[in-house]
Every structure is written in structure tokens, then in C-alpha cells.
Structure 1
């Protein structure tokens, strides 16, 4: 349970870009402590069905621990990211949300609006989006190209100083900007590492998520044209 005084509330202006999109379901891949420290606080009239998991480490999230402690070298950052993509698809909490989100998309529960996010919207989220695209028959090169659009869509020059200031304020030290650019970006090799860890999407969806063939067929029937 969240401790008193632990909540951080954002202003309504943060919700305006998405408030009119009408999404019905939001899949939240942040760990319990992340959600506790920074709750979403959906403002009226946004009232989606929230898919989240209470499973997971109650301590400091691994990405925040790495930001604080390192090793902050190009090799160290890359090694951490590869290890994260081996860890993320196998964590029980992530699998819970992946499973529920998959079924929401397959049943039509999220047909008029669906949002998935984590802390940065690229790793836990990126794996789930890639998983769904693969399930819908998108070829791997296109899946990876879609995933790598993060490197073009994110304004790193604006984002990095804000994150550094926060880490400095909370921990007294922070990763250098050049290393943070690697940390906050994506690389197709990371996603390939996740798929390899899964043992392939087919195996992962059936054996780890427990999605049935009927549910897989329903996903394709609902989201594919023709």
C-alpha cells in the first residue's frame, strides 16, 4: 500500500492531448511502487478500465537503480539494456498485463480506444506492441522499424535534462547526457533479444501467456482487414 504523502499529482494539462481520444482500456506496465509513487490520477471524464499487476519487486525498479548506480559506459548501458530485454518478458507482473491486454484487444473490449504504457513507453511497452504486431503477421523487419521510431519521435534534448535534474535531486548523481541518450533510445538488437528469450512469439503466447488458439484467431479477425 502507498504511504501517506507519497503521491505526486500532475496537472490536468498533461491529460489534454489524450483526453479526447476516448480510450476504454489502459494497460499499465509500471511496477506497484512506480504506480504508488506516481499515480495516473485520471481526471474526469477519463475513466478507462486499468489493467495492472500487483506482482513484482517492491523495491527500487531496476531501470532507476541502473540510472543511479551504473556502470555508466557505452558497453555498460548496452549490456544493461540487453539484460532488461531478457528479464522483461519473463517477469510475472508483465506477463499478467500482457495477457489481459491481449485479451482486451482480442475480445473487442478495447475496440474504440486502447493505451499501453510503462515509465518511458519504449521497453516494456515496446515488447508488448511488437508482440501484437508479430501476432498479426507483420514481418520482423517492419516490427523492428516501428519499434525504432522511438529514436526519431523522442526529443532527447528536452527529456534528458529533466531526468538528470530529478536523479540529481533525489540521489546526488546522474548518468552523463551521452550515456542517457543510449539508455533512453532503442536498438533492434534489444527487441531481438526479447524474442529470443521468449523462444519465439508462438511459444511465448501459448506457453507463458496462456492465450488459446481461439483467442489468437479472434485477435486477427478483429484487427486484420480482408
Structure 2
């Protein structure tokens, strides 16, 4: 198991996405870039572990409805800045709609996820949160935690975008993205998720379909990056034109996070 994974009782996929090489003799500083799934089920012991990390900013990538349905638990004395979307369209999360309306197969799950990744960089609420996140990276001296519901898609895309900005090699960027598949133990989790899905939808899904839906694949991230290239020409242009990460902001982020 990767040393990047941090042990928690009931917060999934908690890990450090710093400490990668970013140039000749330089590395991202460990302990400043953190990612996870939601914290709604955090145990009291988990809250103590979170408190010990001294997190200065929490970026909650979930929709307003998701935050209402599963409010985050916070440690005593919590004083971090919380960045969350301001758009509330009153709609349920797209993955819930998909699961309620379509049969889950490995093929349908992959089609849904690929389409989701193509749209993700340009969602109005996501763009605002992503932009505020990058400003926070430049301004705070404390660790920054990003999370969504499962900590794999919205979180995975934003972590990968951060790695690109900081100069992490593409193979390391992909390796970090795929670490979700080890962090979550998909084979062990799939049976309970399948039971929940059948209860919610009245339809049974195969073990293989659930594993495919719970995990991540390189093609998902490739789809997001390809759509960015199509619309903006490059990831760097997207960062500057869509998210407002200009050269000065990029330099401040790099200086704070690498050594």
C-alpha cells in the first residue's frame, strides 16, 4: 500500500498528493496538498487526526444538495477556510440520476464517466471553486484539503490539474490519479455498494460493473484534458483563460509548494 495513503476509520481515499519531483532537484513539499472523500461519517478519532493536520483551507467540490444530505463533521476548534460552490440548481448529483435511470454495466459506467470528465472542467460551479482553490494555494501557509463525495473524480481532476501546473511529470500525475483504485479497495467495497444500488434502483448490477463505476481509469482524465485542448488549446491556456491563474499567481503557488 502506498505511503501516501493516510489511515482513517471512516474517511475514504485520504492521501497526500504532494512530494513529487517537479524539476531538477526540486520536489513538492509533503503535507501541504491533501485529498479525500467526504467527511460526513468521520469518527471522533478521525476528527482528531484531521485536527492534527492543521488544515488551513478545505475545498468541498460537492454540489449544494450533496453537502446538505451529508454535512461534513468538523473537529473541535475548526478554523479552516471552507471553499464550496455557490450554485444551487436544486438538482441531484448526475451520477445518482444515471444510476436511477440506466442499467449499470461496465460499458455504460465507463461511457457515463467519460462524458462526466469532458464536462467537468467547464461546469460553472466547478470553475468558480477551482479558481478560488488556486488563489488559496498561493495565499495560505497551511495545508489545503480538496474533497468531493468519493474523492476520485472531481477531486482527481483538480489534483491532476494542480500537478500539471506545478510541473509534475505526466507519469506521476497519472499514477497519483489511479491510486484511488488501491486506496478504496474496490473488490471489497463492491458487494455492499451493489446492495445499496439494488435497493435504490430495483436493478441488480454485476460485481464487474460496480468495480468499474467505483474506480478510475486513465481514459477518464484523458477525456477531460482532450476537451480542454479542444476548447482552449492547452491546459496552460485553460488555467489562465478560464480559471484566472496567470503567470504571477502560478509563480507564487510554485514557490510556496516546492523546495
Larger CA deviation: 65-74 vs 180-189: 65-74
Alpha-carbon spacing, 1:59–1:174, altered in 2? closer, same or farther (3 Å)? farther
Question: 1:67 aligns to what?
Answer: 99
Q: Which residue of 1 aligns with 2:143?
A: 113
Provide the TM-score with structure 1 as the length reference.
0.87
Match of 1:212 in 2: 246
Partner of 1:100: 132
Shift in Å, 1:174: 5.2
In the other structure, the counterpart of 2:258 is: 224
- The number of residues matched between the two structures is 216
Deviations 1:101-145 (CA, angstroms, capped at 9, x unpaired): 1111112x1x32211000110100001000010001112122111
1:156-182 Cα deviation digits (max 9, x unpaired): 244334433443444444533321100
SS at match of 2:54: coil
Which runs of no fewer than 5 residues in structure 1 stay unpaired? 1-7
Q: Return 33-42 or 8-17, whichever deviates more.
A: 8-17
1:164 pairs with 2:198: no
Q: CA RMSD in A?
A: 2.0
Q: What is the CA-CA distance between 1:73 and the residue it aligns to?
A: 2.1
Determine if the alignment matches structure 1 residue 175 to structure 2 residue 205. Answer: yes
Q: Distance in 2 between matches of 1:77 and 1:127?
A: 18
Cα distance in 2, alignment partners of residues 168 and 16 from structure 1: 35
Q: What's 1:5 paired with?
A: none
Which consecutive aligned stretches of 4+ in structure 1 deviate over 6 angstroms post-superposition?
Answer: none
Instruction: Say whether the 8 Å CA contact 1:51–1:101 is kept in structure 2.
Output: yes
Question: What residue in structure 2 maps to residue 38 of structure 1?
Answer: 70
1:11: how far off? Answer: 4.9
Cα contact 1:67–1:174 (8 A) shared by 2:
no
**Cα separation, 2, equivalents of 1:160 and 1:118:** 19
By percentage of residues, which structure has more strand? 2
Please, what TM-score do these two structures have when normalized by structure 2? 0.77
Q: Which residue of 1 aligns with 2:175?
A: 145
Deviations 1:21-77 (A, max 9, x none): 110110000000000111113131223211001215421111112222324222211
1:147 alignment partner, SS class: helix
Cα 1:143–1:156 shift into 2, 3 Å: same
**Mean Cα displacement is larger for which, 153-162 or 163-172?**
163-172
Q: Is contact 1:56–1:92 with CA below 8 Å preserved after alignment?
A: no
Which among 224, 227, 246 is matched to residue 197 of structure 1? 227
- Could you say which structure has the higher helix fraction? 1
Q: Is the 8 A contact 2:180 2:215 kept in 1?
A: yes
- 2:12 maps to none
